């Protein structure tokens, strides 16, 4: 079979379309990885807070119970903040859950480089949403990490 018959047997050329520009794909990819970083920092704050308050031995048991009783894994916590809030309240009561919640949020804000202040009536979800708005995940460029973005945006000087 010669080259021309091979080309003709394939059929007419299909139109080539670009659904997004390379820079748009890079921005979307950067947003996704920075959102993952934001969520991982939240999970780290939860891990550290629970370990400091209740002890490191409690953490694996707590995550096992969360998964078994509530079908919530560690990685899902940033997406299931209301569930986490009610679990803390059910397990530790109103006052206990507030202590743990504030500890988690303080650690989380520290990891993000944000200042933390207690706001009456705020829940865990409210604090995390406020952090998202302060950082505004949608405005990060692909070359920034959370630490670079926060230090530049809030102090005016990159660290």
Half-sphere exposure of 91 (CA within 13 A, CB side): 17
pLDDT digits (tens, 9 = 90+) for 58-71: 899 888 888 998 89
Q: All domains of the chain, ordered by start, with CATH?
A: 32-155 (1.10.1200)
Average pLDDT, the chain: 77
Interacting residues of 30 by C-beta distance below 8 A, sequence separation 6+: 140, 141, 142, 143, 144
Digit-coded pLDDT (tens) for 88-116: 888 889 999 999 999 999 999 999 999 99
**Mean pLDDT within 16-44:** 70
Global confidence as pTM: 0.69
């Amino acid at each position: 079979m010669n080259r021309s018959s091979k080309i003709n047997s394939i059929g007419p050329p299909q139109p080539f379309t670009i659904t997004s520009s390379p820079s748009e794909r890079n921005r979307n990819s950067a947003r996704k990885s920075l959102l993952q970083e934001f969520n991982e920092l939240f999970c780290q704050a939860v891990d550290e807070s629970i370990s400091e308050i209740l002890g490191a031995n409690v953490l694996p048991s707590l995550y096992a119970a969360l998964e078994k009783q509530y079908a919530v894994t560690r990685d899902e916590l940033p997406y299931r903040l209301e569930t986490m809030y009610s679990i803390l309240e059910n397990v530790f009561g109103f006052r206990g859950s507030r202590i743990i919640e504030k500890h988690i949020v303080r650690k989380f804000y520290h990891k993000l480089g944000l200042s933390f202040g207690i706001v009456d009536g705020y829940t865990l979800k409210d604090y995390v949403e406020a952090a998202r708005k302060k950082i505004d995940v949608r405005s990060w460029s692909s070359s920034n990490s959370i630490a670079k973005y926060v230090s530049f945006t809030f102090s005016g000087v990159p660290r």
